Structure 1
């Protein structure tokens, strides 16, 4: 099995698959000192944000060694969010677009503003 894995890592296999495979191999061997590639974190975070329950179900199958939901929540909340437009958040988005190697066209985006009001006489029955 080890020979097969090393052949896959040496071949012209997709780089993302190689990253996943390397991460799986190292994290199976060292369960107490797991380290995650940034691309694995990004994919897992995208899955977790779409459906935390599905991510947890996939993690519990044991087919893949995946980051904990606690770690994903840490990454998700690493940018402090507050209402309104803030220069530091826009700078962060521009920096991430540069890190991702997006073209000028790929850097175009829109801003969605969501307005929410709470009913004045709202009463909660507990």
Structure 2
């Protein structure tokens, strides 16, 4: 799921790309959704920059122990022509707007039952970044 550099630090999410049509998926699929199981899927490192497509804030605790409020959403990765579902984190967690620029971060999953588990999320990109 994660690509690590030579120092053991996560640098990218690992998805899959159809070698026939180029469709990117995350997580990687065994078969292309368009071309079927005969089309080979290759490893693809996803872009770290995206835009919020849609988001929601959750106001109830999760079964894993996420403390509310927390946010999830769909993030478009224009460089990969794909959309993924991901947690949304940040200091300014008051709202997530469609079109808002975000960037990938790696962090411990903030849930009681997932302590010490590495996860991924998207956070607000610095102002002025045009993804």
> Highest CA radius of gyration, 1 or 2?
1
Question: Fold-level match, TM-score > 0.5?
Answer: no
- Greater relative contact order: 1 or 2 (C-alpha under 8 angstroms, separation 6 or more)? 2
Question: TM-score when scaled to structure 1?
Answer: 0.21
Q: Which one has a larger percent helix, Structure 1 or Structure 2?
A: 1
